[in-house]
Amino acid sequence: MMSNWHIFTGSGEPDPQRIEQLPPPPSWRQFHQPDREEPQISPRKRRGMTFKARKPEIDAVNAALYLRRPLLITGKPGTGKTSLAYRVAYELGLGEVLEWPITTRSMLKDGLYRYDAIGRAQEQGGSLKNIGDYIQLGPLGTALMPCDRPRVLLIDEIDKSDIDLPNDLLNIFEEGRFEIPELARIKDKEIDGESMQHVRVTTAYSDATEPTFEHDRTYEVPNGIVRCTAFPLVIMTSNGERDFPAPFLRRCLRLTMQTHGERELHEIVQRHLGDQIDADKVSALIQEFVRKRDREQKELATDQLLNAVYLTTAERAPEGETKETLIQLLLSALNE
């Protein structure tokens, strides 16, 4: 009944106990709870555990691993472009996926490192001592740290970037190294009797539940140069909103991810929500999702389907007209 589904009633009568009736979140919206005794699975790692790669995706990833080339993935939203990176890291035990979300303001240096010159000037008076405390490697810079196994770097939505960024990445992809000028300039100096040839900086690793965090949360940069020993698995995603320069495309392997069919969508829902959901209700929602996406050519993402299934098939779920209204809301096109 509707009265059982509503936590917020809009009655204006305070009732703090109603929030206690809120059920646990869906698996893809669980957050850190420090008081829990059992080991927690981060949302990022869960993406890798629940995503199922198809043969073209498996072949493309293996080719990228063998050839040490970046993989450029194009596809509609919700086809699993970013989830593929997490699946590879999870299955091969490569630790935390380094994420670089791209915006129109993103520059190459943002991915390589960040230097807080103002903070150093304020706290150290411009002294070179402890300069490493004011330098943090970005996700791309961290991915290029020496390692006996490839790290995983996700450059998300690169088609949103400034026109120059793809070309700026070419030299990095070819050389597998970059210089931090602030450290290279002082490599031959000594500060308070301490050589500046090796300076320890922080990295982009942030997930304390991953083994890569403790091992690589800092790195001692030699002579101001970061140089990889194992080229990272670089997965770049694109929604197909722009073309890329030919030299950039030549250095990438390319994959177009296809949308999921009804059978695959059933498997995705089951992996996320288990067997406790009503199969008939799920089938009806999947059919409506596919009809809107394929016949009406509406741009829909798979997580919209998961949201609709979770909200309308749970034990506490809306009924009647409200349910239908919510389904239409949850399955509304992304470009509307």
Q: What are phi and psi of 32, to 5 degrees?
A: -65, 130
% of residues, the chain, pLDDT over 70:
93
Q: Are 26 and 306 in contact (CB under 8 A)?
A: yes
pLDDT for 1 equals 40
H helices of 194-296, where? Answer: 211-216, 246-250, 262-273, 279-290
Q: Which residue has the higher pLDDT, 142 or 294?
A: 142
pLDDT number for residue 223: 95
* 223 vs 203: CA distance, rounded Å: 17
Residue range 254-281: mean pLDDT, rounded: 84
The pLDDT, as a whole number, for residue 245 is 92
Angle at 296 between CA 294 and CA 301, to 5 degrees: 55
Statement: residue 58 has pLDDT above 90 = yes
* Identity of the residue numbered 82: T
Strand partners, 137: 113
Angle at 195 between CA 192 and CA 196, to 5 degrees: 105
Q: Using alpha carbons only, what angle is made at residue 173 by residues 168 and 175, rounded to the nearest 5 degrees?
A: 105
User: What pLDDT is recorded for position 125?
Assistant: 67
- Helices (H) and strands (E) counted in the chain, each on its own, are 15, 13
Q: Confirm if 91 and 83 have CB atoms less than 8 A apart.
A: no
Evaluate whether 167 touches 245 at the Cβ level (below 8 Å): yes
Q: Is the pLDDT of residue 34 over 60?
A: no
* Domains recognised in the chain with CATH numbers: 47-257 (3.40.50.300), 260-336 (no CATH)
| Residue 29 scores a pLDDT above 90 | no
Arithmetic mean of pLDDT, 283-297: 88
From CA 178, how far away is CA 64, in angstroms rounded?
Answer: 21
* Least confident piece of the model among 37-41, 162-166, 271-275: 37-41
pLDDT at 324 over 70: yes
Q: How many residues can be counted in the chain?
A: 336
Predicted local confidence at residue 282, as pLDDT: 87
Who has greater pLDDT, 188 or 137? 137
Q: How high does pLDDT run on average in the chain?
A: 88
What pLDDT does residue 115 have? 94
Q: What pLDDT does 217 receive?
A: 95
Q: Tell whether the model's pLDDT for residue 42 goes beyond 70.
A: no
Where is average pLDDT lowest: 89-103, 115-129, 223-237?
A: 115-129
How far CA 311 is from CA of 8, 19, 168, in Å, comes to 15, 17, 44
pLDDT (tens digit per residue) in 235-263 = 999 988 888 999 999 999 999 998 888 89
